[in-house]
C-alpha cells in the first residue's frame, strides 16, 4: 500500500513537495517512480529512484526535479521547483518491480496565482 500526501494548491514559481509512504513492505528491491497526469491528458513518467538512492529523471523535467528516499521511514519524496500552470496534475507514486505494479491513490496538485 502506498499513501501519498503533500500540498494541493501552489502558486507559480513555488516548489511542489510530495511524499509517499510504503506500508506492508520496504523500499528494498524496488525502484520507485513518480508519474503525473495533467487534466485531460495522458500519463507522464517524471522519474524514478532506486532503493539505493540512485535517481533517473525524465529529461524534460530533469532540471527541476529531485527525488529522495528515507529508508528508515519507508518513504520516498518528490520535489519539483519553479512550478507553473503546466505542472497542474494528479501526481502518483508507484513501485517498479520491473513493471510498475503498485500505485498510490494520487495527489491533485493545482498551480494557480
- As a whole number of angstroms, the distance between CA 82 and CA 39 comes to 20
- As a whole number of angstroms, the distance between CA 15 and CA 22 comes to 23
SS3 content of the chain, % helix, strand, coil (to 5): 5, 55, 45
Stretch that binds another protein, among 6-14, 22-30, 74-82, 103-111 (CB under 8 A): 103-111
Neighbours of 91 (CB within 10 A): 24
Residue 43 interacts with another protein (CB under 8 A)? yes
55 exposed, middle or buried (CB, 10 Å; 0-12, 13-18, 19+)? middle
In this structure, what C-alpha cell is assigned to residue 113?
496565482
Stretch that binds another protein, among 16-24, 65-73, 80-88, 99-107 (CB under 8 A): 99-107
Stretch that binds another protein, among 13-21, 44-52, 71-79, 81-89 (CB under 8 A): 44-52
Q: Of 38, 51, 55, 58, which lies in the binding site for another protein, with binding defined by CB under 8 A?
A: 58
Residue 103 interacts with another protein (CB under 8 A)? yes
Q: Is 108 in a helix, a strand, or coil?
A: strand
Residue 56 interacts with another protein (CB under 8 A)? yes
Residue 7 interacts with another protein (CB under 8 A)? no
Binding site for another protein (CB under 8 A): 2, 33, 35, 41-45, 47-48, 56, 58-59, 92, 94, 99-106
Amino acid at each position: 500500500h502506498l499513501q501519498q500526501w503533500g500540498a494541493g494548491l501552489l502558486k507559480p514559481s513555488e516548489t511542489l513537495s510530495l511524499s509517499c509512504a510504503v506500508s506492508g513492505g520496504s523500499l528494498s528491491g524496488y525502484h520507485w517512480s513518480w508519474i503525473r497526469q495533467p487534466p485531460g491528458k495522458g500519463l507522464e513518467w517524471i522519474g524514478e529512484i532506486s532503493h539505493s538512492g540512485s535517481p533517473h529523471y525524465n529529461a524534460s523535467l530533469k532540471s527541476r526535479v529531485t527525488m529522495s528516499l528515507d529508508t528508515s521511514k519507508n518513504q520516498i519524496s518528490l520535489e519539483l521547483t519553479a512550478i507553473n500552470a503546466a505542472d497542474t496534475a494528479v501526481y502518483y507514486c508507484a513501485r517498479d518491480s520491473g513493471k510498475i505494479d503498485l500505485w498510490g491513490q494520487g495527489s491533485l496538485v493545482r498551480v494557480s496565482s
